[in-house]
Amino acid sequence: MDLSVAKKLKDSDERINISNHFKIVAGPGAGKTRFLINHINHIIEKSDKISDIRKIACITYTNVGVETIISRLGKSIDYVDVTTIHSFLYLNIVNPYLWVLEDDYKFDFINIDGHDDIVPTFSIMNEWKRRTRQYALNDNNKLAKELSKLHWYLDDGELILRFKEIWEGKVGSYNIKKDSYLEYKKICWEKGLLSHDDVLFLSIKIIEKSPRILEIIRGKFPYVLVDEFQDTNPIQTKVLKLIAEKETIVGVIGDECQSIYKFQGADVTQFTEFDLPELKTYYIEDNHRSTQEIIGILNYMRNDKNFHQESPENKHGHKPTILIGGFIDSYNEAIKLCNKDELYTLSFKNELCNMIQYGIDNYFSENIFDEFIFSDGDRGKMIFYIIHSLECCKQDKFKDAIKYMKKAYRKIKDFDDKATLENLKRLYNLYSRIQQINIKELYNNYIFGFYGVKAKVTSGKANNYYKNLTYNKVACVITIADDDGKFRTIHKAKGDEFKNVLLLLEPKEQYNEETELSFLLNPDMGNESHRVYYVALSRTMENLYISIPQLSDENRRKLNNFEIREVRTKS
């Protein structure tokens, strides 16, 4: 992105004109949230368009981001609606105006209650096969996995339901027919189920059917400000541009080097090429978060002559450290080096950082989710969702804990809200015992016989599988929404900052040195995996540690900006 024509702001406190569309490029630690809060207060102070009923829409991409902005707004929150992009569209377009599409699609209006990830049930798949006459697709486990991969895309301006990759959508030797994709969605809608990206599709369709709804949105929100805009996708951008055609002032804030959600449909060019009439572009360069030693590595990775960060406070600290050894050894060494201060452990894959949390030092299958959800029918789903519920409870995510406990017992008659809470309390009180056992013991001793659950695990494939699978290994692959614990994926750490960070690369069994260290040896910000690691390193305020299983002499010489320590356990 060419910043040579953009205006540099001296810091996040500098004010800009509230009457123009704008784009802000802000690197890590630049204070973009501070700028956003200041700009909101500036609008409230100066604009005659803001009132109790005409508010500023402030949109970000995670619930953690929403909570952060709300906590900093203070009394100004009375004039601001802070939501994620999906919540904004659901609350202001889909929920109140879905009836506009009732002649085009059939919806269960009574049971639609928000949006969520959808795993197709056997009843959904059987109905879909009946309607589309694809009875040859008899592997329901594989079919469920493939249907779950269908997403909406904006291809050449047209909304298309398709698979991301051309090789997806195959069940056995048969391909799912293209003209049957939409039928799957229709069946879900008839059952009151909306996925996250259904919200995007339906928002566009509602606006196309009734353009006057845009006037209502503009009337409610004379200003729309979008944080983390580098993570937007083309459908979201289209909605935003439709709103911005008249009256409403739009501002977007982001950083192309922190765009890390391509797997969810994000397209960094939506930010770099975003434009509106008379839009002004600015950038904030300094990094108030990290030491100069860490900033130096970030600048090296970024390699942008028009964007070079410094620490305005001239913060200095230790060299970032590479720890050579296993995960557990690296973690123990990092704890020692940061003098028992809080250490946050980050990894690309969820199960890697959780291996340390649950004390697992050998790598294992990352397909546990698929094996539970798609290979053992309703029993597998029940076990997995119970464990998910308990892990949410462990992190005080009680709303999610209740949601997953209800999912686990969705087919159990009379399992109501009271039973949900009683069962969650019963199992969580046993957590210290449950996490020490295998899945067969968990099911036979603590699930079977309660609330009408019948049939122990006694023989067959499931018996052998569950007997050799521990609770902690399943817990390792559980993904907690808005995870704010000390062991997180890099994506879950986005928008946060920590004094001490341990970054885990691949374990020895999966490790290829040239590939895994390429983000340091030959950084390329056009490569999303390099941007993910850029985000990880940039979360660090003072002490950065990177754990790798081995390092060649040649690469050791190249990484001279790091301190290198061997931490392998002596035999």
Question: What is the tens place of the pLDDT at every residue in 263-318?
Answer: 888 999 999 999 999 999 999 999 999 999 999 999 999 999 889 999 999 999 99
- Binned at pLDDT 50, 70 and 90, residue 33 comes out as very high
Q: Which amino acid is it at 332?
A: N
For domain 7-94+210-286, give the fold: Rossmann fold (3.40.50)
Residue of 274, 185, 298 whose CA lies nearest to 540:
298
- In DSSP terms, 8 is beta-bridged to 283
Residue 571 has pLDDT above 50, yes or no: no
| Strand residues in 27-175 grouped as ranges (E) | 56-60, 80-84, 151-155, 158-162, 170-171, 174-175
Q: Is the pTM of this model over 0.85?
A: yes
Q: Which of 435, 559, 453, 6 is nearest to 256 (CA)?
A: 6
CATH number of 321-360+486-566: 3.40.50.300
Domain with CATH 3.40.50.300 in the chain: 7-94+210-286, 321-360+486-566
Distance CA 366, CA 351 (A): 7
SS (H, E, C) 367-419: CHHHHHHHHCHHHHHHHHHHHHHHHHHHCCCHHHHHHHHHHHCCCCCCCCHHH
Whether 29 has a binding-site annotation, put simply, is: yes
> Is 32 annotated as ligand-binding?
yes
| pLDDT tens digits along 128-173 | 999 999 999 999 989 999 999 999 999 999 999 999 999 999 999 9
- Alpha-helical (H) ranges within 74-220 are 85-89, 95-97, 122-132, 140-147, 181-190, 196-209, 212-220
State the pLDDT at residue 264.
86
Q: Confirm or deny that 31 is annotated as ligand binding.
A: yes
Q: What is the pLDDT of residues 369-388, one digit of tens each?
A: 677 766 777 899 999 999 99
Look over the chain and give the mean of its residue pLDDT values, rounded to a whole number: 93
Note the pLDDT tens digit of each residue in 52-107. 999 999 999 888 889 999 999 999 999 999 999 999 999 999 999 999 999 999 99
The tens digit of pLDDT for each residue in 167-203 reads: 999 999 999 999 999 999 999 999 999 999 999 999 9
Amino acid at 131: R
33 is in an annotated binding site: yes
Which residue bears the tokens 């569950």? 466
Q: Please name the amino acid found at residue 416.
A: D
